[in-house]
Amino acid sequence: MFSSKKDVSQEQALDMSRIPAHIAIIMDGNGRWAQKRHLPRVAGHKQGMQTVKTVTMAASDLGVKVLSLYAFSTENWKRPSSEVNYLMQLPIRFFSTFVPDLVKHNVRVMVMGDTTRLPEATQKAVNDAIKDTADCDGMVLNFALNYGSRDEITRAVKQIASEVQDGQLDPANITEQTISDHLMSAPLGELADPDLLIRTSGEERISNFMLWQIGYSELEFVDEHWPDFDGDSLKRAIIDFQGRHRRFGGLVNQ
């Protein structure tokens, strides 16, 4: 018999000694989740916020070191202003209720993206959360907010070019590490590159997320819409990841 979605027997297959250090998630399908229920799209975003809490705790409990969540892309400004406005309020609601839990679980908040374009109250909520969790040294909860990887790479190129122009950097010394060091994920250091990238809602594309960093990530596309995703879904994705053979271009299973 095929195992059901919630079959716990799969949990036993989870190898706690090989949990991916950095998991990145493209949280997609909020709108469709709502539409299926004849609800406005924003109801999906509201429910999706609950999923962020659930999945953050699940990831932290599993010993994940970095959880990167794509919350708002540089392209999402194209949406109707009512939806954009709602999405801009979500971090305020999220952090106002969730920061104490984050601190309790030793989770540190970090953000990638140009937050200066966000409404002031949203910027404040984000900056306060970063400050309030600054001493936490457990999992990093890394939100991509007004983030786009092409924007990130463009900024990095500009920065590197100006360092060359100023004579601080010799073009001959530009390495892959130089590029990584100028991306928004640079504060993550060695953990900047996701081991596992998950996208929900059945779409199989990257939508401008961490293009440089996912060069050797394992990709997992799941059919569930983000509001339906939960701790068990995360475990299933990790079990699948653990069955992969990462070769990084070589021949051995590393």
Residues that bind ligand IPE (CB under 6 A): 26-32, 70-73, 76, 87, 201, 203, 205, 207, 226
Residue 232 CB contacts under 8 Å (≥ 6 apart), including other chains:
5, 6, 11
* Residue 207 contact among Mg ion, ligand IPE, none, beta carbon within 5 to 8 Å by kind: ligand IPE
Q: Which of 7, 61, 76, 240 is catalytic?
A: 76
Output the CA torsion sign for 29, 31, 37, 43.
Answer: positive
From the CB of residue 9, how many other CB atoms can be counted at a distance below 10 Å? 8
Q: Which of 20, 24, 25, 28 binds Mg ion (CB under 5 A)?
A: 28
Active site residue 151: no
Q: Which helix (H) or strand (E) holds 69?
A: strand 66-73
The whole-angstrom separation of Cα 23 and Cα 58 is 12
The minimum distance between CB 229 and Mg ion, in angstroms, equals 14
> Of the candidates 242, 60, 29, 221, which has an alpha carbon nearest to the alpha carbon of residue 138?
60
Q: Hey, what are 186's tokens? A: 């640079």
Q: Which residues pair with 62 in a beta bridge?
A: none
Given Mg ion, ligand IPE, none, residue 72, with its beta carbon under 5 to 8 Å by kind, binds ligand IPE
Q: CB of 78: closest distance to ligand IPE in angstroms? A: 9
Partner whose binding site includes residue 87, from ligand IPE, Mg ion, none (CB under 5 to 8 Å by kind) = ligand IPE
Q: How many residues bind Mg ion (CB under 5 A)?
A: 1
Piece in contact with Mg ion (CB under 5 A), picked from 4-12, 27-35, 125-133, 233-241? 27-35
Smallest gap from residue 221 Cβ to ligand IPE (A): 13
Q: Which of 15, 28, 30, 208 is catalytic?
A: 28
Query: At its nearest, how many Å lie between ligand IPE and the CB of residue 43?
Result: 11
Residue 28 annotated in active site:
yes
Tell me whether residue 26 or residue 62 sits nearer to ligand IPE (CB atom).
Answer: 26
Task: Name the minimum Å distance from CB 27 to ligand IPE.
Answer: 5
| Binding flag, residue 193, Mg ion (CB under 5 A) | no
The span from the CA of 188 to the CA of 181, in Å, is 10
For strands 218-221 and 140-147, give the pairing.
Answer: unpaired
Specify the DSSP element, H or E, that contains 73.
strand 66-73
Are 24 and 68 in contact, with CB atoms under 8 Å apart? yes
Active site (catalytic) residues = 28, 76
Residues that bind Mg ion (CB under 5 A): 28
